[in-house]
Amino acid sequence: MQFIEALKLRSKLLFLFLLVTIGLFSVGIIGALNIDSMKKNLDSLYFGSLVPVVELNKILQIYHGNITNTIYKAKNASISNSQVSSQIQNALMKVKYQWRSYESHFKRDGELQYVEYAASEIKDTNAYFENILLGILNGNELKNISIVNFEKQMEHIHSTIKKLINYEVEVAKYERKKFLKIYESVMLNVGIILLLVILGILIISFYVFKSIQDDHTKLEITTKKLQRANKKLENVSYTDVLTSLHNRRYFNFIYDRELKRAKRTKSYITFMMLDIDFFKQYNDTYGHIEGDFALKSVAKVLKDSLQRPSDYVFRLGGEEFGVILIDTDESNSAKLARDICDAIRGRKIKHETSTVNDYLTISIGIVCCIADEALNEDILISRADEMLYKAKDGGRDGYTITTNISESTTKVEEEKGA
């Protein structure tokens, strides 16, 4: 059933995907066609007006800049005849190049006649300067050049080219107005089509998404129920039912994780192994119900005494408990152990068959060290177990602590709790 529902959801999503794809594809084609049309108009505007104006202005600049300056310098005899000849020749070559480039652009029928006229005037002007060059070759003095004739020639060619520039500018203005009209029309059409497509997609998508949302809501509710169930199962699998402490399974996970972390950071790690003194005799004397109460009481003391996020308390089995402490040195670990012993004794749970005290007591074996890569994973547990037996052999109702994690020695530091 879930498989069929999943297929339905996928089909709806596929349909929506195809719909959006087709809509966007249509908009893309329309946009591409219109953008191409706009590009042609832009090309016409740019190459038909801007570049020609630049080229004509360059021709004017050559006439009024390079050639005029050269003539005036020659008139004043400030440059030699060879320099004059070279500079004028280079300038005329540039003029011819720019004019050929200008003529190569698209020309409308209405402007061809004036372009031909301007070409003949430029040709005559160039011929005027070529005659000057010929005179230089024949040894004529440049001082004898008539400035009046020269200025008339320059004024005439300036007027001719300026009229051509003004015409190109007017054409650009006309093309711009024409382009703006086409552009506005195209944008209006694209906007209308795009709006219709979007509205269509939105309307259909609304119903598709509504259906998907309904399915998603049902799936979300089911998922939350499943997550709650999984959480309960996880808690059950990691929690001791009687004491609500973490169980042996969770201890294995935390012990491995925290030991690796301590090795990485080269920090303190402490492991305590705790055992209720003469618990078998307690059960035999008071019964299992009271025995369970005693276990719960010990668990509560451990919870109340160890409340940092880095303190982990476990029931390892029977009357045996375990504690993992992170970033806690030897003195603080010993103080916590002493406080735990005092707190359990302070609850005054009657234990008549104990040979240590009239009340319930506990023995603790502790290993505290700075972890490094050489630290064996099993040594903390084995050394804590040794310390627990040392505490029991030393009279119980107390703790024994060591910082020696060597497997080849049994030397320990002992301290009997009060």
Catalytic residues: 319
- For residue 276, what are the β-bridge partners? 362
CB 268 within 8 A of CB 369: yes
Q: How far apart are CA 50 and CA 44, in angstroms?
A: 10
User: Helix, strand, or coil here: 326?
Assistant: strand
Q: How far apart are CA 35 and CA 26, in angstroms?
A: 14
Tokens representing residue 236 in the block: 């059950």
Residue 357 φ/ψ region, left for φ over 0, alpha for ψ in the -120 to 50 degree band, beta for the rest: beta
Whose tokens are 């996880």? That residue is: 234
Tokens representing residue 79 in the block: 């440059």
Q: How far apart are CA 387 and CA 391, in angstroms?
A: 6
- For residue 320, what are the β-bridge partners? 275, 317
Residue type, 1: M
Of 365, 344, 331, 261, the C-alpha closest to 297 is 344
CB 316 within 8 A of CB 322: yes
CB 278 within 8 A of CB 354: yes
CB 391 within 8 A of CB 356: no
Residue type, 275: D
Cα 137 to chain centroid distance, Å, stands at 74
Per-residue DSSP letter, 244: -
Q: How many residues does the chain have?
A: 418
Cα 83 to chain centroid distance, Å, stands at 65
Q: How far apart are CA 106 and CA 108, in angstroms?
A: 7
Residue 86, φ and ψ in degrees, nearest 5: -65, -45
Residue 132: how many other CB atoms lie within 10 Å: 20
